[in-house]
């Protein structure tokens, strides 16, 4: 055994399981060290350093969770994965919340074990990481806290739940977690759950065999297969229908999927990151989102701050956006009154709205120096005077309707079908209203 071989701690009280794991790791060129209890694991950790730890959840003198917590409390820079009995997914979730890297279900699949070990040992690999400033800009305390959190989340394989209003950069945070983690060299597959017709969801997520249904003239991989070894980002996950939530839960728990028309399941090694502007916990309490799926997704939470809480970052954000939208020979810039107007604005659409405002201003302004009037900022609803004897009622109602439609479009990334659904109107009605109000 070479001195440079990675050392792996195996904690399990079953001799046959320990032997199986040891033989597998030895064949991978690793150096396994076995322990049969929590006490032996602590002694081994104190006696030497390790590059990875694998622990069973049930041990003679305690639980594997104690090993996970011991590693976290001692500040050991050590990825740890747990082995849990079939159907004990709740234990795995608790372990990952306590700091575990990932989990495997017993009986252990050797293919999944090798994949997990390879991913774990890449965590501390000295790979060049992309600059976070390319994804999330800002020096404010709120955004710096997000960046610190992202750095921690990138080292895990547990599911991440990103919360935040529409346009706050949830997908950018997800991509940064992927790009700075051990799966960076593998695919990142982003899925807008609200844009997939319900009757196509199963085939889109899990794929299908040739002849599985009318029109299936060739085999096709689903999102899970496309993200194999990488990250599957489920945007607006709250829009998934309950029937699909059941199938998604099973795929996440069992780490396997079955294509439509297939007789056998196949491994699904994809890290799950989900995001939504809605409150999943509240939806779960109302029965509109499965609680068991919520607990599986909400292992590692990340809250994205709205732009109105990042006002000190607006000059930097605006500068970068103007450089993108304007001609390099005559770069656009903000006059003091325009910058003040932006910093005083509430930004209900957050960063996406800031992009739209500046792109429109650069296109329509007569001078490279943008004034406040060039920004065409909409007044917040509280500043729109309610109708009285001197106010036009139709103008007031039109403004309310316009703001509601624009917000729904921004929330659904301008998917008019989903926007109509959120507003409780038909697609035809929404199209008519948009034409009447001049919304493009």
Q: What is the mean pLDDT of residues 326-331?
A: 84
pLDDT higher than 50, residue 2 = no
Q: What's the confidence (pLDDT) of residue 388?
A: 60
Rg (CA), the chain: 26
Question: Rounded to whole angstroms, how far apart are CA atoms 139 and 129?
Answer: 19
Contact indicator for 267, 223 with CB cutoff of 8 Å: no
| pLDDT surpasses 70 at 394 | no
Q: Tell me, yes or no, if the two domains 307-377 and 383-437 fold the same way.
A: no
| Residue 247, pLDDT score | 95
Residue 217 to residues 149, 198, 260, Cα–Cα distance (Å): 45, 21, 13
Of 145-159, 279-293, 379-393, the poorest mean pLDDT is in: 379-393
CA distances from 117 to 92, 111, 150, 185 (A): 17, 10, 22, 16
Average pLDDT over residues 349-367: 91
Confidence (pLDDT) at 126: 42
Residue 393 confidence class, pLDDT cut points 50, 70, 90: low
Cβ contacts of 114 within 8 Å, gap of 6 or more: 24, 28
Domain edges within the chain: 7-121, 140-303, 307-377, 383-437
| Range with the poorest average pLDDT among 148-162, 180-194, 402-416 | 402-416
Q: Are 61 and 37 in contact (CB under 8 A)?
A: yes
Where residue 385 falls among pLDDT bands split at 50, 70, 90?
Answer: low
In the prediction, which pLDDT does 244 show? 95
Under 8 Å between Cβ of 295 and 157: no
Identify whether the C-beta of residue 79 lies closer than 8 Å to the C-beta of residue 123: yes
Stronger pLDDT, 273 or 269, i.e. the higher one: 273
Q: Looking at residue 201, what is its pLDDT?
A: 93
User: Does residue 127 surpass a pLDDT of 60?
Assistant: no
Task: Please state, in angstroms and rounded to a whole number, the distance separating the CA atoms of residues 260 and 211.
Answer: 9
Mean pLDDT value of segment 256-284? 92
Residue with the bigger pLDDT between 352 and 126: it is 352
Q: Of the given ranges (26-35, 214-223, 339-348, 378-387), which has the lowest mean pLDDT? A: 378-387
Query: Average pLDDT of 112-133?
Result: 65
Query: What's the CATH class of domain 307-377?
Result: mainly alpha
140-303: CATH, from 3.20.20.70, 1.10.940.10, 3.40.50.300, 3.30.565.10: 3.40.50.300
pLDDT at 329: 80
- The answer on pLDDT for 1 being more than 50 is no
pLDDT higher than 60, residue 383: no
Counting residues of the chain whose pLDDT is more than 90, the rounded percentage is 47
Position 128 scores a pLDDT of 46
CA distance 366 to 349: 26
Q: What's phi and psi for 229, nearest 5 deg?
A: 80, -5
Position 63 pLDDT exceeds 50:
yes
Say what the pLDDT of residue 104 is: 82
Average pLDDT, the chain: 86
Mean pLDDT, range 88-102, rounded to an integer: 75
Closest to 123 measured CA to CA, from 72, 63, 79? 79
Report the pLDDT value the prediction gives residue 77, as an integer from 0 to 100: 76
Lowest-confidence pick of 19-33, 94-108, 220-234: 94-108
pTM, whole model, 2 decimals?
0.71
State which fold the 7-121 domain adopts: Rossmann fold (3.40.50)
The pLDDT value recorded for residue 236 is 92
Q: Which CATH number fits domain 383-437: 3.30.2040.10, 3.30.43.10, 3.40.1390.10, 1.10.10.60?
A: 1.10.10.60
CA distances from 324 to 26, 319, 321, 328, 371 (A): 52, 9, 5, 9, 18
At residue 416, the pLDDT reads: 85
pLDDT confidence tier of residue 318, bands split at 50, 70 and 90: very high
């Amino acid at each position: 055994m070479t001195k440079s071989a990675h050392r792996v701690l195996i904690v399990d009280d079953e001799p046959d399981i320990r032997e199986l794991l040891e033989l597998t790791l030895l064949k991978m060129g690793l150096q396994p060290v076995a322990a049969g209890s929590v006490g032996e694991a602590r002694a081994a950790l104190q006696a030497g350093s390790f590059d990875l730890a694998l622990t069973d959840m049930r041990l003679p003198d305690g639980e594997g969770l104690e090993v996970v917590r011991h590693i976290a409390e001692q500040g050991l820079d050590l990825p740890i994965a747990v082995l849990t009995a079939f159907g004990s997914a709740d234990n795995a979730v608790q372990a990952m919340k306590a700091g575990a890297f990932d989990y495997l279900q017993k009986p252990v699949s050797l293919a999944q074990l090798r994949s997990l070990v390879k991913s774990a040992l890449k965590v501390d690999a000295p790979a060049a990481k992309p600059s976070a400033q390319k994804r999330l800009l800002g020096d404010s305390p709120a955004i710096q806290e997000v960046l610190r959190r992202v750095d921690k989340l990138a080292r895990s394989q547990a599911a991440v739940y990103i919360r935040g209003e529409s346009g706050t950069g949830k997908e950018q945070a997800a991509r940064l977690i992927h790009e700075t983690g051990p799966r960076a060299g593998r695919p990142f597959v982003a899925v807008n759950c609200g844009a997939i017709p319900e009757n196509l969801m199963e085939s889109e997520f899990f794929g299908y065999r040739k002849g599985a249904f009318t029109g299936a003239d060739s085999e096709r991989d689903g999102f899970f297969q496309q993200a194999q070894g990488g990250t599957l980002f489920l945007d607006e996950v709250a829009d998934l229908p309950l029937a699909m939530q059941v199938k998604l839960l099973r795929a996440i728990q069992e780490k396997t999927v079955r294509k439509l028309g297939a007789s056998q399941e196949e491994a699904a090694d994809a890290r799950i990151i989900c995001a939504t502007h809605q409150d999943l916990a509240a939806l779960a309490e109302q029965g509109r989102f499965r609680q068991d799926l919520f607990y599986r997704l909400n292992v590692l939470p990340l809250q994205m701050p709205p732009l109105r809480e990042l006002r000190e970052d607006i000059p930097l954000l605006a500068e970068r956006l103007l450089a993108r939208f304007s001609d390099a020979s005559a770069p656009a810039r903000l006059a003091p009154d325009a910058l003040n107007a932006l910093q005083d604005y509430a930004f209900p659409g957050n960063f996406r709205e800031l992009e739209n405002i500046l792109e429109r201003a650069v296109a329509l302004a007569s001078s490279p120096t943008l004034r406040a009037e060039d920004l065409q900022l909409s007044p917040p609803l509280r500043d729109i005077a309610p109708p009285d004897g001197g106010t036009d009622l139709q103008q007031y109602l039109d403004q309310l309707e316009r703001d509601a439609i624009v917000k729904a479009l921004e929330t659904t990334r301008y998917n008019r079908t989903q926007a109509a659904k959120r507003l409780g109107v038909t697609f035809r009605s929404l199209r008519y209203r948009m034409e009447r109000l001049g919304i493009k």
